Amino acid sequence: MTSKLTIRTSESADQSYPIRFHSTFRSAAADLLKATRGRPLFIITDRNVHSVYRNEIRNRILSERPGSGIFVVPAGEKTKTRRWKERIEDWLLAQRAGRDAVVVAFGGGMVGDLAGFTAATLNRGVSFIQFPTSLLAQVDSSVGAKVAVDHPLGKNLIGLFSRPAAVYIAIPLLSTLPEPEYLNGLAEVIKYGAILDRSLFRLLEKSSGPLLRRNRDLLATVVRRCCTLKKTVVEADEREHDFRRILNFGHTIGHAVELLSDYSLRHGEAVAIGMAAEARMSVRLGLLSPGDEERLVTLIMKYGLPVSLPRRMHPHRIITATLRDKKSAGEKIAYTLLRAIGEGRTGHLIGPGEAERLISP
């Protein structure tokens, strides 16, 4: 293991959990086996990840732990449903997964959210481990204890806060991630720099070449830094009363754009567009300097992500969609905006008319 972080929230110290960073899959798998000491491991993964890692999973984990098993679900957000939760439950029960079972999410954020939610209610909660394989999952979704499935009325509508027992991060897994998925995760990385960490932002400005080539040492530094930032946020406010909303930068407009595109825009692309729009709002409200807005837009573009609102989406439609998201038509909603690079601020209440004017090109 190269290093470790521990997430401790004030609610209960005995429920703290480690994030363990590894430079090889082999050492992460060995660490997982050691920590779970003979208990049966039930791995949940998706078809894409399975097609790449089936041998490694079999040789390094399953064959080392009798009584373990693997369940492969279709890849993609469409699988993050109550129906698939039920299927996983049926499988776990057929495998006689009891109180000592450990459910392991081996995949991106979709698998992490689905498997984590399933583990949280099986036998009133069994041990759950995150083994994130996408950049987004390594820097964002695997840390912070939110698990959920989607509903036709919206994403993540059914779920809860449920902490994992541990998170195992093996950086080399990122080398097989398809390019668009990699960029998707980089949008969240840029977000961390923009809201919380000026020196991370500078590193991203300086090192776009090696980072786009997925240099492992640099990725190890960047992923660990993002996890440290998320740790700071969730330790202060795990249940999103206020400070955790700092992570929503780019997401209020981003979610609306994602929804209006019928999900043809990826989450990271929508968040990139959302960050550019919310930086523009920040400038127009006199919070952010135009120079800092320019730096953010330039950085997003350097990583091949979009910055302009899609032409077919009128600002009025976008703002209406943000209201639907919050079920509060006509009311002001709270935006997270920027005061400078590395300084996000939550709780800027803005009404729909003003928001429309502020995001207009």
Nearer to ligand NAD, 107 or 250 (CB): 107
Strand positions, DSSP E, the chain: 3-7, 17-22, 41-46, 69-73, 102-107, 127-132, 146-151, 154-161, 166-170, 333-340, 343-350
Is 267 a catalytic site residue?
A: yes
The closest alpha carbon to 92, from 124, 61, 70, 65, belongs to 70
> Per-residue contact track with ligand NAD, 51 to 90, x per CB under 6 A?
-x----------------------xxx--x----------
The active-site residue out of 22, 244, 245, 280 is 244
Is 224 a catalytic site residue?
A: no
CB burial string 323-357: b at 16+ within 10 A, e below: bebeeeeeeebebbbbeebbbbbbebebebeebbe
The active-site residue out of 80, 191, 267, 280 is 267
The count of C-alpha atoms lying within 13 angstroms of the C-alpha of 231, restricted to the half-sphere facing its C-beta, is 17
Is residue 49 at the binding interface for ligand NAD, with CB under 6 A as the rule?
yes
C-alpha span between 34 and 21 (Å, rounded) = 15
> Per-residue contact track with ligand NAD, 109 to 138, x per CB under 6 A?
xxx-x-------------------xx-xx-
Nearer to ligand NAD, 271 or 358 (CB): 271
Is 50 a catalytic site residue?
A: no
Interacting positions 290-309 with ligand NAD (CB under 6 A): none
- Distances from the Cα of 83 to the Cα of 87, 98, 141, 146, 336, angstroms: 6, 21, 21, 19, 34
Residue 356 CA to its chain's centroid (Å): 28
The closest alpha carbon to 44, from 100, 85, 98, 4, belongs to 85
Range in contact with ligand NAD (rule: CB under 6 A) among 2-10, 29-37, 178-186, 329-337:
178-186
Q: Is 205 exposed, middle or buried (0-12, 13-18, 19+ CB in 10 A)?
A: middle
Residue 81 CA to its chain's centroid (Å): 18
Is residue 173 at the binding interface for ligand NAD, with CB under 6 A as the rule?
yes
C-alpha span between 253 and 241 (Å, rounded) = 20
- Answer positive or negative: Cα dihedral of 167, 172, 178, 182: positive
Give the shortest CB-177-to-ligand NAD separation in angstroms.
Answer: 4
Is 251 a catalytic site residue?
A: yes
Give the shortest CB-5-to-ligand NAD separation in angstroms.
Answer: 16
Range in contact with ligand NAD (rule: CB under 6 A) among 19-27, 88-96, 173-181, 324-332:
173-181
Q: Cβ(207)–Cβ(218) under 8 Å? A: yes
The active-site residue out of 85, 191, 225, 230 is 230
**Count of chain residues binding ligand NAD (CB under 6 A):** 30
Among 23, 81, 176, 221, binds ligand NAD (CB under 6 A): 176
Is 146 a catalytic site residue?
A: yes
The active-site residue out of 37, 124, 311, 327 is 124
Give the shortest CB-96-to-ligand NAD separation in angstroms.
Answer: 28
Nearer to ligand NAD, 78 or 198 (CB): 78
Residue 1 in tokens:
């293991």
Residues catalogued as catalytic? 124, 146, 188, 230, 240, 244, 248, 251, 255, 267
> Which positions touch ligand NAD (CB under 6 A)?
46, 48-49, 52, 75-77, 80, 107-111, 113, 133-134, 136-137, 140-141, 144, 146, 155-156, 173, 176-178, 181, 184
